[in-house]
Chains A and B, each alone.
Chain A
C-alpha cells in the first residue's frame, strides 16, 4: 500500500491546562503528519504530552480545564482545532476513533456489550437495530471473539482482560474510521495478550487500511507495529523518523537514553541497563532552552537558553537538538565521548 498520502497534519499544536498552581503547558508546538494506512507511534515518558496530543485530535480534552491554545489539526480539508463541537461529534467514532488503556474502566459496566457496540453504528449510519446487530456480530468476529451473537447480551465483567480490549477495538472500528488512535492499548495487559492484540492491530490494518496512531512508552510495542515514530519530551516532539532510523540511528540523546534503558534479548547481560537520570522538567514553567538539557550527558551551554531548531538527518528523519549544529559536532569530535555510552 502506498503510505505517502497525507491524512492528518498537526502543526504548531499547543495545549494548556489550568490548575491551582498556574497554567501547565502540556503540549508545546507539536508538528507531525499521519499518512494513509500507516502506523505512527508516539513514545515518551509519562506526562510528556503524548496522550494530550492524541486527545487534542479527538478534541477530547477536559472542558473548562484544558484548551487548545494554538496550532491547527488538518484532516480532510477541515481544521479540527477550530471545528464546532457539533461537527466534531459527527467525526468522532466515524472518521476518527479512539481506544483507551484500560478497557475495564473505559466500557460501561451496566450496559450490555452489544448495546455499546451498536449505539455507535446507529448514531453514525442511521440503520435499523437488526442491521446494527448484524454489523456488531461481524466486527466481533473480526476482532476474534467467539460466539459473538450470544456474547452481545453479556456485560463487561463477564469478559477477560484481553477480550475486553478486543471489544474496545471492535467499538472503535465498527464505523470503519480512517484514523484509529490507541492510547496505551497494551499497557494493562499480560505480555502474551499484548502480542495477540498487536497482531490484531496489524491484521485489521491490512484488512481495512486504517491509519493508526499508537501512544505508548513501550519500545517493544513500537518495534513490532510502527512504521514511523515520534519521540516526545516535555510537550515537544524531539525526534521523528521511520522506525528503523529511530532504533538503529537515534540522534537525540533522549531517544538514545530511551533505547539504552530498554531490555533486549540480544544484549550483553553483563552490561547493566542504563536508566536516564533525573526527572522531566516542570511544565508549569518550561525551561527557556532545551527541556532535556538538565538530564543530558552531552548538554552544551547553548542548550540552557536557546531552543534547538529542527534538523533533518534525511528527508524523513528529523531531530531537534543542538548537537546537530556543525559547531557542536566539531566540539564532540575534539573530545573523548563520556564512558559507558
Chain B
C-alpha cells in the first residue's frame, strides 16, 4: 500500500468524533413500538380490536333493526339481505344482537381489566414499596386468595348478588386484581433491591424521581401486557357465566348468552345463531391474546438485540 508522506503528521483530534457513526439511540417507547411494528400478528390483533370497537359502536345503528324487537313471522331466518346474520328463535336480528353483545362483552372486559389494574397496581405497589412487615401481611392475604379457585368464587358471588351486568363486573374484579397485585409487587420489590436503584439513591435521587425514572419504565411493560391479557380472560369469564345462566339477562344480549341460546341449533341446523357469537368471542380473545403476546415481546428488554 502506498501512503502519501504528508499524512505522517499528528492527527487533528477535533473532527474525529464527528465522523464516528453510532448506533441510533432509541427510547424505551420507540424501541418497543419498533418491535411491535415488526410483529405482523400483533398488529393484526390491534387492527381487529379497533374494528370490533367500531362495529360495537355503529353495528346496532346501521342494521335497521332493534336488538330486542321480536317477531314470530321472522323466526329463525337464515342470513339474508334484510337480516345479514339471520334471526333467532324470537325473530330478533342476529347482526344487531351480536354487535349489541359486543358492546357488553367489550365493556365487561375493559372495565374489569381497568379495575384490576387500579386495585392491583395500588395494592402491589404499596406492598412492594413499603416492604417488611406490612408487605408480609398484605401478601399472606393475597396468597390465600390466590389459592382459591377463581371461577368458583365468581360463581358464588354471582349466585349471591344475582345476575346482571354490574354484578358480573364486581364478581370478576373481586378476584381479578390478585394476579396483577402479585406481579406488580414482585417487580417493585425486585427493582427496589436492584443495584441501579441503590446507585440512584446514593446519588441523592428522590423517591419520586426513582419511581418516574426507574420503577415506571421497568414495570409499565409488564403491566400493559397484563391488562391486555386480562381483557380476554374477563370476556371469557362473562361468556362462561352467561353460559351457566348466571350472566346477562334477556332481553339484553352478550355473546355468552347468545352462544348458550344457540347451542341447540347444532341439531336444528340454524347454525348462524351459534356461529356468529361463538366466532366473535373467539376472534376477540384471539386478537387480545396475540396483541398481548406481541406487547410482551416488544417490552421485554431481554429480547432486545
B35 vs chain A, min Cβ distance (A) = 8
Main secondary structure of the interface of B (DSSP, over half): loop
B138 vs chain A, min Cβ distance (A) = 31
B21 vs chain A, min Cβ distance (A) = 5
B23 and A282: CB pair below 8 A? yes
Are A309 and B13 CB-contacts (below 8 A) given A281-B20, A282-B22, A302-B8? no
How far, in angstroms, from A330 to B11 measured CA to CA in the complex? 16
A111 interface hit (Cβ, 8 Å) = no
A311 vs chain B, min Cβ distance (A) = 13
How far, in angstroms, from A299 to B16 measured CA to CA in the complex? 11
How far, in angstroms, from A302 to B2 measured CA to CA in the complex? 11
How far, in angstroms, from A327 to B11 measured CA to CA in the complex? 15
A299 and B11: CB pair below 8 A? yes
Q: Which of A21, A282, A294, A306 contacts B16 (CB 8 A)?
A: A294
How far, in angstroms, from A309 to B3 measured CA to CA in the complex? 12
What residue in chain A is nearest B23 (Cβ atoms)? Answer: A21
Are A306 and B3 CB-contacts (below 8 A) given A21-B24, A285-B21, A299-B13? yes
A302 and B20: CB pair below 8 A? no
What residue in chain A is nearest B31 (Cβ atoms)? Answer: A20
How far, in angstroms, from A59 to B262 measured CA to CA in the complex? 60
A169 vs chain B, min Cβ distance (A) = 30
Q: Find the residue from A20, A299, A330, A331 having the highest chain B CB count within 10 A.
A: A20
Are A300 and B20 CB-contacts (below 8 A) given A65-B305, A306-B3? no
Number of chain A residues close to chain B: CB under 8 A: 27
B20 and A294: CB pair below 8 A? yes
How far, in angstroms, from A333 to B305 measured CA to CA in the complex? 47
B7 interface hit (Cβ, 8 Å) = yes
Q: Which residues of chain B from 6 to 26 have a CB within 8 Å of any chain A CB?
A: 6-13, 16-17, 19-24
Q: Which residues of chain A from 264 to 283 have a CB within 8 Å of any chain B CB?
A: 281-282
| Per-position 1/0 for A299-341, Cβ under 8 A of B | 1111110100100000000000010010110110001000000
A293 and B11: CB pair below 8 A? yes
How far, in angstroms, from A65 to B305 measured CA to CA in the complex? 10
A19 and B305: CB pair below 8 A? yes
What residue in chain A is nearest B304 (Cβ atoms)? Answer: A20
Return chain B residues, CB-CB under 8 Å to A293.
Answer: 11, 16
B81 interface hit (Cβ, 8 Å) = no
Are A300 and B23 CB-contacts (below 8 A) given A293-B16, A294-B16, A294-B17? no
What residue in chain A is nearest B15 (Cβ atoms)? Answer: A304
A331 and B8: CB pair below 8 A? yes
B305 and A300: CB pair below 8 A? no
How far, in angstroms, from A243 to B20 measured CA to CA in the complex? 33
Q: Which of B11, B17, B24, B305 contacts A301 (CB 8 A)?
A: B11
B5 interface hit (Cβ, 8 Å) = yes
A301 and B7: CB pair below 8 A? yes
Return chain B residues, CB-CB under 8 Å to A301.
Answer: 6-12
Return chain B residues, CB-CB under 8 Å to A322.
Answer: 8
A247 interface hit (Cβ, 8 Å) = no
A155 interface hit (Cβ, 8 Å) = no
Return chain A residues, CB-CB under 8 Å to B3.
Answer: 302, 306, 325
Q: Which of B9, B17, B24 contacts A300 (CB 8 A)?
A: B9
Q: Which residues of chain B from 129 to 154 have a CB within 8 Å of any chain A CB?
A: none
B23 and A284: CB pair below 8 A? yes
B251 vs chain A, min Cβ distance (A) = 53
Return chain B residues, CB-CB under 8 Å to A284.
Answer: 21-23
Please list 23 pairs of residues, one from A and one from B, whose beta carbons are closer than 8 Å in the complex, sorted by A's number: A19-B305, A20-B35, A21-B23, A21-B24, A282-B21, A284-B21, A284-B22, A294-B16, A294-B17, A299-B10, A301-B6, A301-B10, A302-B3, A302-B7, A304-B16, A306-B1, A325-B3, A327-B8, A328-B8, A330-B8, A331-B8, A331-B9, A335-B10
> 7 tightest CB-CB pairs across the interface, nearest first?
A302-B7, A299-B11, A327-B8, A301-B7, A285-B21, A21-B23, A294-B16
Beyond A287-B20, A293-B16, A304-B11, 13 additional pairs, beta carbon < 8 A:
A20-B305, A21-B23, A282-B21, A287-B19, A294-B16, A294-B17, A299-B13, A301-B8, A301-B11, A309-B1, A327-B5, A330-B8, A331-B8
